[in-house]
A and B are shown apart, each in its own frame.
Chain A
Amino acid sequence: DSGVTQTPKHLITATGQRVTLRCSPRSGDLSVYWYQQSLDQGLQFLIQYYNGEERAKGNILERFSAQQFPDLHSELNLSSLELGDSALYFCASSPRDTFRHSSNTGELFFGEGSRLTVL
């Protein structure tokens, strides 16, 4: 058990709809990362928040948005869903901010993922 909680575990919806994925980081972790894993692909970085502020953006579509709340949980909002958005969405947390920190070896703690199916 990594200590990172993601809900829902599974979600099936239709094209054009909007969904919200939720993540609670490990106790004490200030950074939350969102990743997308499509079939047989590596993890694509979407966005990172640190202590409520957006810290870095990866390949996140404009239809997607995220936020981190004062209690440090985070939500990923996916709108105008398309078939190609079907994927596993992982949340990860870390106590640190940037990977440039000299002692930050890049270890992230991942949740079990939310599997989104768009029909």
Chain B
Amino acid sequence: DQQVKQNSPSLSVQEGRISILNCDYTNSMFDYFLWYKKYPAEGPTFLISISSIKDKNEDGRFTVFLNKSAKHLSLHIVPSQPGDSAVYFCAATSNYQLIWGAGTKLIIKP
């Protein structure tokens, strides 16, 4: 039972354009939603989070939107840069656990 789903295994975006990564969830009791970024041969690093009581959180080029009625989360990166090429994981907190999506590989094209 996948409580957090990232349905796009990969996404290719032109440098300078907007990257939009999507995530769907099934559990309405999640407290926080997070995005992590992972480069090859490294562990995931925290990018940005949003509380379940908010609908938007912004940090520089990164904005996370939460649509609770649709149980949908998205990460916008504007403008996309070559260093943004990585695997992005969506995750959600529930009691003692952090529930992870399978990840989306973002490729930024020059």
Residue ranges of B at the interface with A (Cβ–Cβ < 8 Å) = 4, 6, 9, 31-32, 34, 41-46, 49, 51, 89, 91-103
Q: Which residues from A are CB-within-8-Å of B97?
A: 45, 56, 58, 99
The yes or no answer to A11 lying at the interface (CB within 8 A) is no
Are A100 and B31 in contact, CB atoms less than 8 angstroms apart?
Answer: yes
The yes or no answer to A40 lying at the interface (CB within 8 A) is yes
Question: Which B residue's beta carbon lies closest to that of A45?
Answer: B97
Q: Which of B91, B99, B102 contacts A41 (CB 8 A)?
A: B102
Are A90 and B43 in contact, CB atoms less than 8 angstroms apart?
Answer: yes
Residue ranges of A at the interface with B (Cβ–Cβ < 8 Å) = 2, 4, 33, 40-45, 48, 55-56, 58, 90, 92, 98-100, 104-113
Main secondary structure of the interface of B (DSSP, over half): strand
Are B95 and A100 in contact, CB atoms less than 8 angstroms apart?
Answer: yes
Known: A99-B32, A105-B49, A106-B32. A90 touches B44 (CB 8 A): yes
Q: Which residues from B are CB-within-8-Å of A56?
A: 95-97
Main secondary structure of the interface of A (DSSP, over half): loop
Known: A40-B102, A111-B43. A106 touches B34 (CB 8 A): yes
Q: Least Cβ distance of B34 to chain A in Å?
A: 5
Q: Which residues from A are CB-within-8-Å of B46?
A: 107-109
Are A43 and B49 in contact, CB atoms less than 8 angstroms apart?
Answer: no
**17 interchain pairs, CB-CB under 8 A:** A41-B102, A42-B6, A42-B102, A43-B44, A58-B97, A98-B95, A99-B31, A99-B98, A100-B96, A104-B32, A104-B93, A106-B32, A106-B92, A108-B44, A108-B46, A110-B43, A113-B42
Known: A55-B96, A99-B95, A100-B31. A42 touches B101 (CB 8 A): yes
Q: Which of B6, B9, B44, B98 contacts A45 (CB 8 A)?
A: B98
Q: Least Cβ distance of B29 to chain A in Å?
A: 11
Are B95 and A108 in contact, CB atoms less than 8 angstroms apart?
Answer: no
Cα separation A94 to B12 with both chains bound (whole Å)? 33
Are A107 and B95 in contact, CB atoms less than 8 angstroms apart?
Answer: no
